[in-house]
Structure 1
Amino acid sequence: MPAKKKPLVIVTRTLPAVIETRLRELFDARLNEDDHPMTPAELAEAVREADVLVPTVTDRIDSAVLSHAGPNLKLIASFGTGVDHIDVQVAMSRGITVTNTPGVLTDDTADMTMALILAVPRRLAEGFEVLKQGEWAGWSPTWMLGRRITGKRLGILGMGRIGQAVARRARAFGMQIHYHDRRRLPATIEEALEATYWESLDQMLARVDIVSVNCPHTPATYHLLSARRLKLLKKDAYIVNTARGEVIDEAALIRMIEAGDLAGAALDVFENEPEVNPRLIKLARAGRIVILPHMGSATLEGRLDMGEKVIVNIKSFIDGHRPPDRVLLSML
Structure 2
Amino acid sequence: MNPSEQGRPRLLVARAVFPSVIARLREHFDVQHNEADEVWSRAELIERLQGMDAVFVTTGEPIDRGVLAACPQLKAVCSMAVGYNNIDVPACTERGVLASNAPDVLTETTADFGFALMMATARRITESERFLRRGEWNKWAVDMFAGQDVHGRTLGILGMGRIGQAIARRGALGFGMPVVYHNRSRLAPELEQPLGARWLGKEDLLRQADHLVIVLPYSAQSHHSIGAAELAQMKPTATLTNVARGGIVDDAALAQALKSGVIAAAGLDVFEGEPQVHPDLLDVPNVVLTPHIASASLPTRTAMANLAADNLIACFTGGTPPTALNPQVLTT
Calculate the TM-score normalised by the size of structure 2: 0.93
| Paired-residue identity, % | 37
Alignment of structure 1 residues 113-262 onto 2, 5 Å: 113-171=114-172, 172-198=174-200, 200-262=201-263
Q: Which amino acid aligns with 1:278?
A: P
Asked whether the equivalents of residues 10 and 50 of structure 1 are also in contact (C-alpha less than 8 Å), the reply is yes
Distance 1:230 1:142 in 2: 26
SS at match of 2:50: helix
Asked whether the equivalents of residues 25 and 313 of structure 2 are also in contact (C-alpha less than 8 Å), the reply is no
Distance 2:94 2:260 in 1: 47
Is 1:309 aligned to 2:307, yes or no?
yes
Give the corresponding residue for 1:90. 91
Q: CA deviation at 1:56?
A: 0.8
- Give unpaired runs (5+ residues) of structure 2: 1-5, 328-332
Give the corresponding residue for 1:270. 271
SS at match of 2:281: helix
Q: Which amino acid aligns with 2:261?
A: G
Distance 2:221 2:123 in 1: 33
Could you list the structure 1 runs, at least 4 aligned residues long, displaced by more than 4 angstroms after superposition: none
Distance 1:203 1:129 in 2: 35
Q: CA deviation at 1:263?
A: 0.9
Give the corresponding residue for 1:297. 295
Say how many residue pairs are matched: 321
Alignment of structure 1 residues 10-89 onto 2, 5 Å: 10-70=12-72, 72-89=73-90
- Give per-residue Cα distances to partners, 1:81-126, cap 9 Å, x unaligned: 1001112222222211100111111111111111111111211012
Q: Cα–Cα, structure 1 residues 140 and 254, in superposed 2: closer, same or farther, change >3 Å?
A: closer
2:316 to 310, 315, 318: 318
Q: CA deviation at 1:328?
A: 4.3
- Give per-residue Cα distances to partners, 1:219-246, cap 9 Å, x unaligned: 2211122332222111211100011011
- Give unpaired runs (5+ residues) of structure 1: none
Q: CA deviation at 1:210?
A: 1.2
Q: Which has the higher contact order (CA 8 A, sep 6+)?
A: 2
Distance 2:183 2:56 in 1: 30
Distance 1:98 1:216 in 2: 17
Asked whether the equivalents of residues 158 and 214 of structure 2 are also in contact (C-alpha less than 8 Å), the reply is yes
Distance 1:248 1:217 in 2: 10
- State which drifts further: 222-231 or 178-187: 222-231
Root-mean-square deviation over aligned CA pairs = 1.5
Q: Which amino acid aligns with 2:325?
A: V
Asked whether the equivalents of residues 214 and 243 of structure 1 are also in contact (C-alpha less than 8 Å), the reply is yes
